[in-house]
Amino acid sequence: EIVMTQSPGTLSVSPGEGATLSCRASQSINTNLAWFQQKPGQAPRLLIYGASTRASGIPARFSGSGSGTDFTLTISSLQSEDFALYYCQQYNNWPPITFGQGTRLEIK
């Protein structure tokens, strides 16, 4: 099973600033990685798939990069609605599909 590790656990950033979230896989997953955003009481929302392809309707301030074992989600110029939980997910070797434990992005 591929283990996904996200860092940091919590990231405190001021609105208008940028944020960089990291995700590391325990073995190479090529670019078979997705990023999700989740707000309290809601289902996750797909942001990025294929490590760098923005899903439909996702603002351009969200970008993904990386391949192999190390991946990054970058959010430029944080808006109030961006403060949420973020998960990475690998689908290179499955079953099982596995998720990171999440990064909480909070307002500084």
Partner 1 sequence: QVKLVQSGVEVRKPGTSVKLSCKGSGYTFTDYHIHWVRQAPGQGLEWMGRINIKSGVPNYAQKFQGRVSLTRDTSVSTVYMELSGLKSDDVAVYYCAISVESPAVPSYDHWGQGTLVTVSP
Which positions from 5 through 64 interact with partner 1, judged by CB under 8 A? Answer: 32, 34, 36, 43-46, 49-50, 53, 55-56
Closest approach of partner 1 to the CB of residue 91, in Å = 5
Question: Closest by alpha carbon to 85, among 3, 17, 5, 11?
Answer: 11
The C-alpha atoms of residue 74 and residue 65 are separated, in whole angstroms, by: 8
Piece in contact with partner 1 (CB under 8 A), picked from 8-16, 22-30, 71-79, 85-93: 85-93
The C-alpha atoms of residue 61 and residue 81 are separated, in whole angstroms, by: 12
Residues near partner 1 (CB under 8 A) are: 1, 32, 34, 36, 43-46, 49-50, 53, 55-56, 87, 89, 91, 94-102
